[in-house]
Every structure is written in C-alpha cells, then in structure tokens.
A and B are shown apart, each in its own frame.
Chain A
Amino acid sequence: MKRCLVIDLDRCSGCDSCVVACKHENGIDLGNYWNRVVAVGPTGTFSDIEQYWLPVQCQQCENPQCVHVCPTGASYRDEKTGIVLVDKDKCIGCQYCMMACPYGVRVLNEKTKVVEKCTLCSHLTADGSGVPACVHNCCCGARYYGDLDDPESDASKAVAAALAKDSESVHHLPDPGDSHPATVYILSKKTAEWKGLV
C-alpha cells in the first residue's frame, strides 16, 4: 500500500486553507506547521510571467532518510499503509530526522520535545473511510488522498487522468537522497513550467 497525497497545481490557488485545516485538526502550536504552501514565482519579467503554488508536506518517501537516521526507531514507515510516522513514545527529540529530511517538513514540538509531522490525519483515515482535513477542505479541489497502488483510489485516478491529458504533467519533488518521494504533483505547462524546487 502506498498512501499519500496527489496535489493538482493546475488547480491550487495558494489560499493556505490546507495549512489552517491541518493546524486546527492536529492542534499544532503557533509557529509550527506540518504543511506549508510555497509561492513558486512569479518568474520572468512583468508582464511575461508565470507562477504556481507548491503545497509541501511529508512526501511519504518509500525510502525515507528520516527513518534511516533515527537512532531510536521512532521514525518508521508503516509497512501496511506506506505512511511515514513518528512513534512519539520512542522519540528523544534529537532532531536528526529534521536534518535528514530533504523537504524540511518535520517540526519539533517545543512543549513535548518530540518531532512531529503530517500523519495524513491517521486518526481520520486509519480505517480507510476518511480523508485528511487538508483534502476535505481544499478550496480548489486540488488535493487527492489514497493508495497509489490501488488504481481505484482518488489519488491514482487523479494521476491517471493527468497522464491521459498530458504525459508531462506529473511530477515529484527532486530526490537528492534516493528517497523516492511518493507524493505526486500535477502541473501542466499551460499553468507554469515545473521548477523542481522545494
């Protein structure tokens, strides 16, 4: 199973509602984020410019660096779901994982001194029925959640539809450390050139 997000950047308008939905849902402190939306651009010179918005959160890597460097086994990839998680009982707050993560999507909870990250709202989605709060409330219908190994999942269907329309519109974030990020971004050239940035 490879549960993750698929995010359609041809739809995303950068409204930050996914960020706030996540913060309320997961009770995240001020200053901490499990997801952020990055403005990529505008690039070019006025008025010949383009821009897209890049929501960034845990990429649910298949070969996660954060797991490799964790000295206590607190960071792990759930074999059943493919979701990368933190067992907070085991986490000692050493923050190696935060340094190892190529995408900067882990944060230290200053109160509990453990590292936290996107769980794909496991408390809502564990039984396979719900979707993460960021997906539910997304104001552009740009976020899809599901198992990429299941062709019938929302996530797989979104990728298949994007590929059918434009074979060059499906992207992953750059993968400097052979991490195999599972999260998929859809961006067609009509909106903007994929910059491969985080």
Chain B
Amino acid sequence: MQETTWTRRSFVQAAALAGAAAAIGVSMPNSFVETDPAYADEPVETKVVKTSCHGCIQMCPARAYIENGVVVKLEGDPDAPVSRGSLCLKGLNQLHTMYSPRRVLHPLKRAGQRGENKWEVISWDEALDLAAEQITSTIDKYGPYSFFASVGGGGSYSFMEAMTLPMAFGSPTVFEPGCAQCYLPRYAMAKYMYGGNDQSIADNAVQEIFKVEDNKADTVVLWGAQPSVSQTAESGRGMAELRAKGVKTIVVDPNFSPDAQKADVWLPVRPGTDTGLLLCWFRYIFENKLYNEQFTKFWTNLPFLIDPDTKLPVKAEELFDDFVSPTPANTPAYVCLDASTGEPKPFVFSLPEDAEVDPEIFATVEIDGKQYKSAGQIYKEEADPWTLERTAENCWLQADKIEEAIKLYTSASVAGIANGVASDMTESASQVPLGCMGLDAIMGYVDIPGCTMTQYGTGVVANPVSRPVTYHNGFDGMFSDMYGCGAVVGLSDEENAERIASFDPAVQEQFGGLLLDRLGMKDHKGLYTWCHSHIPTVREAIATGEPFKPRVWFDMSGNKLAMLGNAKSWYEVFPEIDFIIGQYPMLTSFHVEAADLVFPVREWLEEPMVNMTQLNTQWLQNECVHIGETVSHSIPAAQVIERCKEKWGGTMPGLVPGYIGSATEAEVKASVAATLQAPGWDELVANTDKYVPYVIPPEDYWHYKQYETIVDDGLPAGFGTESRKFEVYCTLLLKMARTGYPFCYPFEQEACEDYSPICTYIEPAESPLDDDEYPFVLTSGRVPYFHHGTMRHAAFARELFPTAEIRINTRTAAELGIEHMDWVKVSSRRGEVHARAYLTEGVAPRTVWMERFWNPECYDESQPNKTAGWRECNVNVLTKNDAPFNEVFGSYTNRGFTVKIEKSEKPSNVWVEPHEFEPFMPTLQGEPQTKDVF
C-alpha cells in the first residue's frame, strides 16, 4: 500500500533513499525537502544505529538515523522495558547540540583576558604540554595540595575520573555542585542505615516499582521528586504506566508538578520543612499503631535500649555480667525491654520465631539508677509535638490532607517512598532520608515486591551467603580495598584490625593523610562516602590560603557558575587561581570567565559508553558519528597525567593506581565491549543486536526478603550494619562524627558535634516566618527542557522555554502589581537576578519556584555588550552557600531561602523571541567524520 501526500515539498529525497531505506525497513525523516534535482542524484548511505541517549542521567535506549555520516533523526528504542520507545525533548535536541555552532572541536587556549571569550586553537600536543607544565610547576613549587579537580553532578560523564584525578597528584581536593547537594545524602544514608539501595528514582536506585511483569506496587510516595519532569522518558514514563494501572500516588512538593497534578494526595509542603511533615507521619503511625510490628521489633534497631551517655545502643555484655553471646563477634547482642517478663533482657540476633524475648519498641527503664530509653521511645518523643494540626500550621498544609496521605500509605498492601533531590539542597539533607527510609522500615516496606527499597542484581547484597557487610570509601568501598583505609561495617573489631593490617602501611599512610587533610572533613564527615571536599571550605581555602591554597584547577564538566551556590562568591575567587583547565563540548559562562585551557570532548552521539540500565537490561551508548578532535571524557586527564609523568621523570606524586579512567578510545571501547559481554568493540558494533541489550535473566535479577535468608553462620542474613538490623536509629552517624569511623579507620579524624541519629526538625535558616525584608521562600526544580546546565544552546528547547520563569501565586502577584509574563527582579541576601513571572495557583501565596538558568546568548557574536550569561537569570546567584550546613554532608541551601520580588525589565542580552535563537541552529553537519585522536 502506498498512499502519499503530494505537496510542493516532494518526496524526492525519500525516493532517492528508497533502496537504502527499504533494505533496512525504515522510513527516512525530513523527507519533505525542497525539490532539488541535483540533490536527488547524490548517493545517500543510510543506517539506523542502536544507541542510548545521554540527555540526562537515566540514558534511555534510542535509535539514531545516520545519513551520509550525519545524524538526521533520533527516536526512542521501543524495546526498552521502562521507556518503551519514549525519548524526551532533551534527547531529541541532541540533533541541535551535536552540530551546534557552539561546539568546541579543537583544544582552545585563552587568547585575551579571562572574561573576554577570546581563544586560540592549538594542537592537542601543545594543549597537553601547557596543562602538564602548569600542573607540574605549581606542584613543584607549592606541593600536591595546590592541585584540585571538579566535576558536574549526575549525568555528567566524569564522576569517577574527577574523584580519582587528585589522588594521582597526591591532592585531597575535589568537588562537584551536586554530591552533597544532589544524591550523596540519600545514597549514603541508605548505606549507613541498612547497607542497601536508597530511595532515589532518578539515580536508578529504585527499580522495583517500574517492573513490567508481576509489578506489586500499590502506593508510591514521591517525596520531593518529579520524575515526569526530571527523567521524563524513563521514570516519567514509568510513573505514567503505574498510574494507568491504578497505583496510588502521594506527592510531597511545594510546586504543583505534573506528578502532583495526577496524585491522589498532593502535600505542597513549605520549602525546607519536610522534617516536620516526616515527624508528623511518624507520630501518627506510632500513635495509631499502624507500623509493621513484627518488622519493627525484629528487623529494626528501635527496640534497643540506648545509653543516655553515649547515645549508642547498650550491648548485652555491658549490662549483664555473665552474658555470653551465642552469636559471632560480628553480631553483637543488644538489650531490650522484654514484654513477656517486663524486664530488660539481652536481645540476641535471630529469626523472629527463634527470639527469646518479645521486645518492646517503646520503653523507658531504669537500671542501676540510670534511665535508658529504647530508640523507638526516643523517636516517639521527638515526633510527639508534631500533631496533624501543628504540622499543618507549620508546613502550610491541611491537616485532613496529611491524614489522608498517611492512611493511603499505611493501608497499602505495599508502598514505598521515592525520595527526590529536594532535601539534598537543604540543611535537612541527612534528616529527610533518615525519616523517609525510617518510615518505610517501620512499615516493613523493605526488600519486598512492590516497594522502593529492594536489592536486585547478581551481587552479594542482593544474594547474601554470609553476614552482610558494607564498605564505605567510594562506590562499594573500592578505595578501602585499594589503599587500605576504612573499616568494613559488619566485621567485628578484631576482623577489621586483621584486615587493615594486611595493607601496605606506606600507601595506607598516604591515603589516610589525604582523608584527614581533605577540606571540610572535620565537620562534615559524610562527604567521605564519595571522597569529596566541602565546597564552601574549598572556596574559603582558595580565598585565604588556609589551611592550604588550591591553585591549579582541572574541571571536567559544564557551567560551574550556573551550578554552584552563590555563584558570585566563586567568581570573586577566580583571580586567586593560577590556572584553570576545562573540558566540555561547548564554552559556558564558566569557561568564558575562568578557563585558560579547554579540551574538546565528545557529545553523547560520539562517545562509547554503557547506559545506566533499565531494570535487568543494559544498553550501549554508541559511537554514532565523530567530528573534530573531540575525545571521550576520561581521556584528557589521562593524557595530562602521562605528560606530567614524563616531566617528572616517570613518577607521579600521588597514589598508585590513582587515576581511574581510560587514556585512549581503544581502551574506552574495549571496556564497553567487555561490559556488554562482547568479544571486542568491532564485533559489538558489527552485530549490535546480538549483544544489546545485555539481559540478566529475571530470576537472577529480582530478589526479596534477603534479610531472612539463612547464611553461612546459621543466622538470618539481616542487614549490612553493625547490629545486623535496619538502623532506623542510625548509630553509625554518631561514631562517624566522633572519629571519622568507618572511613578514616585505622586513623581518626578530629571530632565534631554529634550528628542526629534520627530525623529531627530543622527550620530553614532563612525563614519566611520571620523575614520582613525578604518575605518569600524560594524553591526550585527542573523543567523538562534542560538537565542541569545543559541545552540552553538548543534552539528548539529555548523557543519553548526561552528564559527563566518564576512561579508566583496569582493573588500574591496581584498585591505586587505583577502580571503574567512581566519581568521581575528577584533578590536574596546574595544578589539579584531577573525572570519572567509565571502566575499560578500551583504554589502557596508565599512560596515562589524558579528553575536554574543561564543564557549563552549573552556572549553571542551578535551582542553589542557581551556578558558571560550567568548573572542575568541564574537562580544560583541567589542561593545560599554559607552556614548552617547539613551537619553530616555539609550541604548548603539551594532551596528554601528567602527572596523579595519587584517588577523590572528584561536584561538586554537575554533572548526570548523564537527567531532570536537562529544563531543556535545547527551548522556543523558538514564537518568531516574524523578518526580517534588517541
């Protein structure tokens, strides 16, 4: 059947392609082209290539249509189990960014002053030499601590590379604007509390609820997450499928997000006050005995009696002189109040049916004149003030809605909280995950079909055969095993001592020194989890030189000035930094204002990689095309290291192996092929369908109730914590604050104030309750058009969402004399920016909501008065990067601070009309295909 639509734009191009297209069974896009007889005669080679998008962290499987070496069309791969053929506009717009006139295709050396945006194209050889000369001479003069690295948050390519690059140079300093402000707190708290996967949807930790077959999810709580906006095609699609199946949803979000619009209950909490709402849920659940009693009694540590002096659970040996534990030394017995005898008794680890006690969850007992409370009792007392009414008043909610949400959550056959990024960007960064995971734990929503916290895959956490343990330095404790620092939680003290003694003391000393000297670690030891420094402390060190001065900076990501809190405070210290190296596919405000040298890196259509996985499937990010002298993300640093090593006569000042990242495309490709179980890259790309996706059989992937599995010591596995229980009362936080345990072991970091082991209420430091000068509380979140700092140079994104908008309540705006789409000035105690007012009843009268923004058009050639585009509309000019920080992770305040708003004018360099974005339209499709540089 052939039914065509004849128009003045004809099918000439399609006709010319007919042979090729028919051979692969596809139709070609953009077929409506102007009739051009000459063009019709050109031979066209066409192919469709399996790849994965990298428009955000989730990396949906996609298909690229390539015509004579140019990608002409992208679409979602219908075989992907969660995204099911969806591809969002961030992915689709790679067609623009890949061929953007803003692409950096060759190494660039700054030619004018910083800020002038003048560059000289240099060779890779010159670029590497320049970088190596700067690094080696600075380190020779000032020592290894003068070097530092940074990277962007999730979705950025160079996470591991940035973490390990300073190690290679013997420096402890690395940071990224995400980390403590994005994901680290939730990831780390899960490891501390139970050694398992956290509750983040975006970061692919939560998978269970998106299962295609046999999905048992009943109720999902999106707490500070908007998957339909942030990860539109994968978990956004997953949420759409869940709702269509009748799964109930509760959304906690100050903004009426698309997920909130479709929720069964929406709780628009006042920004930054989530801890109050969490404590309210605890109170209601405790009060009405809605918790899962058996799980709470036997699989959490809430029944344990806590020593009021140490705040730690009392071990049975401490209270009962003649007690001999029947369990191994790595599985201590604690003490509970036994309901059957009314006496405090040793609480020996066992299956519930084998327990000799009936532990009270809530207990206060006096032993030898000292009062002990159970951890459950302590939690209950903390939650006690948080009645529905008080919470409603404090958090700007309705009591009946809170109650409706709690009932929906507790009456579900199975539910789970998906905890989003919001709380990471507040002082409550550790308290909110404590609360969210604590709630799921007391409900027993752990490791069962349909909840959010499950352990899957083929690793030991999902398939325990012996007592679970948790490593804590780097991902899966990799640095602990490489360099011999860090206790393994779940081993006994003797086992840890024995293990640590097996490492080379010299290496251990060197790594330990970096741990102890890392900036900001005394106060915020949770950052050790990802080996990152505390950002405000790094800035302070650059400014003051205390305790040492970072001088040479290697950044591996995008626009630091759009992503770092209080951007102006960073701009002010750039002159203190001697040399700044960047790598990115385009020049951002940061590169314009700061960089001295920029390495060209590949866009995702060019870079071989393996995707994040969708359920039990893993997909290829393919090398579809390659233009210019761009390289994969790990290569510049690896090559610079080689060059430095040459200059230093074959040695490096840092740790060995140090840097983890491939030095050549061949290495990158080999590693991708190996991950996908292909014998080599050539075979992988020649027979992609054979290897992609790599599928783990469902029966080997999905696992449940591991904690009950009897392991090799004859006991149930339990969890990878010191008590082998799910530590709703997180004891590790206390030990961590006091010595840096487990990270620094066998060394000790200086003590700081204790971290709270349970969720406690934190009123934001800048609060709309008592701020007359800045009366509104600002929070933020994503819009579907951009991921982090990306895509502001994609014309089809910008014409739809041309510039920053601030969502203001309609009635509030009327009081301020502001109309829909008026330009306003938004000011905080840090600075001021501009945005268009989007009037809506979707935010509370005193809440405003604004996505971060920056404007690459501000330094377009056509602008008479160029700026670097980060001061105009950038919410991070407003954000707060000073104390109080989150105690555990040092997170500063990107959300939930106060601002004022007044009518204003559009900044002159900002584009808003569609035609203005013409200079962003792609121009590089004619670039020749190039070979690998390294």
Contacts and interface: CB of A to CB of B under 8 A. Distances in A.
A105 interface: no
Interface string A117-143: 001001110111110010011111110
Contact of B89 (A17, A26, A27, A142): A17
A194 to B, nearest CB: 15
A47 B244 contact: no
A11 B239 CA distance: 9
Contacts of A86: 7
Contact of A122 (B4, B85, B89, B268): B4
B796 A47 contact: no
A46 B796 contact: no
B458 to A, nearest CB: 30
Given A11-B240, A20-B796, 13 more contacts: A10-B262, A11-B243, A42-B842, A46-B842, A51-B261, A122-B3, A122-B4, A123-B5, A123-B11, A139-B88, A139-B228, A140-B228, A141-B240
A112 B225 CA distance: 45
Interface string A12-26: 011111011101111
B236 interface: yes
Interface string B790-822: 000001110110000000010000000000000
A39 B475 CA distance: 42
Interface pairs A-B: 5 shortest CB-CB: A88-B8, A31-B914, A13-B258, A88-B7, A20-B89
A13 B29 CA distance: 26
- Greatest chain A CB density within 10 A among B1, B83, B240, B915 is at B240
A89 to B, nearest CB: 5
Interface in A70-103: 78, 80-81, 83, 85-89, 91
Interface string B891-934: 00000000000000000000001110110010000000000000
Interface of A: 8, 10-11, 13-17, 19-21, 23-27, 30-31, 41-47, 49-53, 78, 80-81, 83, 85-89, 91, 112, 114, 119, 122-124, 126-130, 133, 136-142, 191-192
Contacts of A89: 6-8
Contacts of A126: 1-5
A24 B92 contact: yes
A131 B93 CA distance: 20
Given A11-B244, A15-B236, A20-B796, A30 B921 contact: yes
B31 interface: yes
A35 B75 CA distance: 18
Nearest to A26: B32
Interface in B831-866: 840-845
A81 B2 CA distance: 12
B3 A139 contact: no
26 contacts: A13-B240, A13-B258, A15-B229, A16-B89, A20-B796, A27-B30, A27-B32, A42-B261, A42-B840, A47-B256, A49-B841, A51-B842, A89-B6, A112-B8, A112-B34, A119-B5, A124-B27, A126-B2, A127-B27, A128-B1, A128-B3, A136-B75, A137-B88, A140-B86, A140-B240, A191-B261
Interface string B653-686: 0000000000000000000000000000000000
Contacts of B800: 16, 19-20
B599 to A, nearest CB: 29
Contact of B917 (A30, A47, A87, A88): A30
B261 A24 contact: no
Contact of B3 (A46, A112, A127, A191): A127
A85 B5 contact: yes
B398 interface: yes
A86 B2 CA distance: 18
Contacts of B4: 122-123, 126
Contacts, number: 198
B9 interface: yes
A88 B9 contact: yes
A192 B914 CA distance: 31
A127 B8 contact: no
A87 B85 CA distance: 31
A193 to B, nearest CB: 13
B233 A13 contact: no
- Greatest chain A CB density within 10 A among B7, B74, B233, B914 is at B7
B914 A42 contact: no
A86 to B, nearest CB: 7
Given A46-B809, A49-B842, A123 B236 contact: no
Nearest to A120: B5
Contacts of B268: 46-47
Contacts of A44: 841
B256 A15 contact: no
A137 B85 contact: yes
A81 B261 CA distance: 36
B240 A16 contact: no
Given A13-B258, A88-B9, A191-B262, A123 B240 contact: no
- Greatest chain B CB density within 10 A among A14, A41, A123 is at A123
A164 B204 CA distance: 35
A13 B76 contact: no
**B interface, how many residues as a size bin?**
35 or more
Contacts of B240: 11, 13, 139-142
B73 A127 contact: no
Given A17-B89, A31-B799, A49-B841, A140 B261 contact: no
Nearest to B921: A30
B75 A133 contact: yes
Contacts of B229: 13, 15
B236 A140 contact: yes
B159 interface: no
Interface string B7-35: 11101001000000000000111111110
B259 interface: yes
Contact of B915 (A19, A30, A85, A112): A30
A5 to B, nearest CB: 16
A24 B97 CA distance: 13
A13 B232 contact: yes
Contacts of B85: 136-137
Given A46-B845, A124-B27, A126-B5, A10 B243 contact: yes
Given A20-B797, A30-B914, A87 B3 contact: no
A23 B796 contact: yes
Contacts of B236: 13, 15, 139-140
Given A15-B228, A20-B89, A87 B261 contact: no
A26 B840 CA distance: 33
B237 interface: yes
A173 to B, nearest CB: 20
Nearest to A27: B30
Contacts of B74: 24
Interface string B230-261: 00110011001101100000000000101101
Nearest to B236: A139
Nearest to A131: B85
Contacts of A10: 243-244, 262
B813 to A, nearest CB: 12
B6 A31 contact: no
A15 B258 CA distance: 9
Nearest to A50: B261
Nearest to A90: B8
Contacts of B243: 10-11
Contacts of A53: 258
A13 B228 contact: yes
A1 to B, nearest CB: 9
B8 A13 contact: no
A49 B256 contact: yes
B115 interface: no
A120 to B, nearest CB: 9
Contacts of B785: 16
A72 B240 CA distance: 44
A13 B226 CA distance: 11
Nearest to A161: B244
Contacts of A23: 796
A14 B95 contact: no
